[in-house]
Structure 1
Amino acid sequence: MDGQLKLYSYWRSSAAYRVRIALNLKGRDYAIEPVHLVRDGGQQHSDDYAALNPQELVPALRHGERVLTQSLAILEYLDEIWPEPALLPDDSAGRARVRALAQLVACDIHPLNNLRVMQFFDREWNVPQAERDLWTLHWMRTGFQALEDMLVGSQDTGRFCHGDSPGMADCCLVPQLYNARRFHLDLAPYPTLVRIEQACLGLPAFDRARPENQPDAA
């Protein structure tokens, strides 16, 4: 399918980070359209962006005239449009496993500590920063321990989350570990996660997607 790719992204958004990794793994050329999540009250809340993505979240991916939202849906779309290299395994059990690993991060860890949750705690309930940090660290630890156990306990774990090629689960893991370091979470209890992260970051596709390598990095 032809059509220019434009990714509406914020350099530190872990959801946008996932999509940058996947686009790089697929070897696709794409333009970054920065959407600053804090400046001007949050550019994602502008009328123009809300018309593009009514959820007022990043990322959004424009492919020609089509606009896609939700990072995991975008990753699956990319895998269907450009099957190689695959982000999901060939077998049904493998695909279910990788989706479960990816969703553990994207659905269970990330939503509990993303920007709009923290802003609600601050603006609506006046939750002190220290208590917000405790909330964030608790849910990261809970999710990371489950993820560590799932990876250690499976013979399907290889150099990466599933086998010896990076895929959808790795696209989710690396950005969440970046977030964990921002909150100074001790990662020593999760050696498998850190090992896989280092294998990923040694690849150009992951390195180019790093937040600090983005055009809008502050």
Structure 2
Amino acid sequence: MATILYDYWRSSAAYRVRMALNLKGVAYDSVPVNLLEGEHRGAAHLARNPQGLVPALEIDGRMMTQSLAIIEYLDETRPAPPLLPADSEGRQRVRALAHAVAMDIHPVCNMSVSRYAASLIGGEDGAAQWMRRFIRPGLEAVEALLDSPATGGFCHGDAVSIADLCLVPQIYNARRWQVPVEDLRRVGAVMAALEALPEVAAAHPDRVRPAA
């Protein structure tokens, strides 16, 4: 039974799932959903995800939505390598770090919100102003959260977790919008370790962008 990821190359949420699939060794087919052309609002995609969002993942005979829920499903059904710690305290910390990005930074910086904000702000730089306003303070908070003995080579210890899968796309977005992150020492060290992993590198938007 084929696994199909309905994907947009620059979507942070889809980027997370691509990395999780790669780390779990799950082969999948990618079907692009072009957000810029409104394909996510078309009948075909709304049948997959009534929210009109990406990603949607067809796997194990089911259609799944919401990136973090998908990743936790993958972790429960394909436990190696684990993306959540074995202990309750560790799982809470990893989820808190993941949510600091996925629930606090990402929602106000997704395409529909930033476009609407830019229309209110006006000017050619409206979207960039909006992004910078929220991405930098959010990442400063993540940097502070990483100031913990529980931080290792990655966000939590020395194994990749869901927290790392949320951090990578957010740093991609920060760089895209020219948000300074070089002084975030702990974030930078974790990112260097993550970017060295082939499974993470293979999920990068530049590697999966559909041909023009």
TM-score by length of 1: 0.93
Other-structure match for 2:46:
50
The residue correspondences of 1:1-218 to structure 2 (distance < 5 A) are 3-39=1-37, 42-122=38-118, 125=120, 127-152=122-147, 154-216=148-210
Contact 1:118 1:132 in 2 (8 A): yes
Q: Which amino acid aligns with 1:15?
A: A
Structure 2, unaligned runs of 5 or more: none
Runs of 4+ that moved beyond 4 A: none
Q: Which amino acid aligns with 2:104?
A: D
CA distance in 2, matches of 1:216, 1:208: 14
Q: Which amino acid aligns with 1:149?
A: A
SS at match of 1:32: strand
Structure 1, unaligned runs of 5 or more: none
CA distance in 1, matches of 2:35, 2:83: 28
Identity %: 48
CA distance in 2, matches of 1:129, 1:112: 19
Following TM superposition, by how much is the alpha carbon of 1:57 offset from its aligned partner in structure 2, in angstroms?
Answer: 0.6
**How many residues are paired up?**
212
SS at match of 1:99: helix
In structure 2, relative to structure 1, the CA distance for the partners of 1:67 and 1:165 (3 Å cut) is: same
CA distance in 2, matches of 1:215, 1:149: 33
Aligned Cα root-mean-square deviation (Å): 1.4
SS at match of 2:58: strand
Q: How big is each residue's C-alpha offset from its partner over 1:63-121, in whole Å with a ceiling of 9 and x where there is no partner? A: 14311101000010100110110000000000000000001100100111110112223
CA distance in 1, matches of 2:98, 2:8: 20
SS at match of 1:209: coil
Q: How big is each residue's C-alpha offset from its partner over 1:46-67, in whole Å with a ceiling of 9 and x where there is no partner? A: 1110111011010010014311
SS at match of 1:108: coil
Q: How big is each residue's C-alpha offset from its partner over 1:156-191, in whole Å with a ceiling of 9 and x where there is no partner? A: 100000011111011010111000001011112311
In structure 2, relative to structure 1, the CA distance for the partners of 1:46 and 1:63 (3 Å cut) is: same
CA distance in 1, matches of 2:204, 2:113: 23
CA distance in 1, matches of 2:159, 2:21: 15
Contact 2:118 2:126 in 1 (8 A): no
Contact 1:102 1:173 in 2 (8 A): yes
Contact 2:154 2:193 in 1 (8 A): yes
